[in-house]
Amino acid sequence: MPRGMKVLVTGASGRIGRAFREFYRDYYSLRLVEHKTPVSASDTEEVISADITDLQSMLKAMKGMEAVVHLAADPRVSAPWDSILRLNIIGTYNVFESARLSGVKKIVFASSNHACGYAVRELDIIGPDAPIRPDSLYGVSKIFGEALGRYYSDKFGISVICLRIGACHDPDRLFKSAFSNSRKALYPPEKYLAMWISRRDIAQLIHRSLEADLKFGIFYGTSNNKRRIFDLSSAEEKLGYKPQDSIEDAL
Which residues belong to the active site? Answer: 138
Spatial CB neighbours of 82, under 8 Å, sequence gap ≥ 6: none
Distances (CA, A) of 138 to 78, 115, 192, 246, 247: 7, 8, 18, 27, 25
Closest by CA position to 157, among listed 93, 214, 234? 214
Report strand pairing: 216-221 vs 6-10: unpaired
* Whole-number Å distance between alpha carbons of 215 and 193: 32
* Whole-number Å distance between alpha carbons of 37 and 15: 12
Distances (CA, A) of 31 to 50, 110, 141, 147, 199: 11, 17, 25, 26, 20
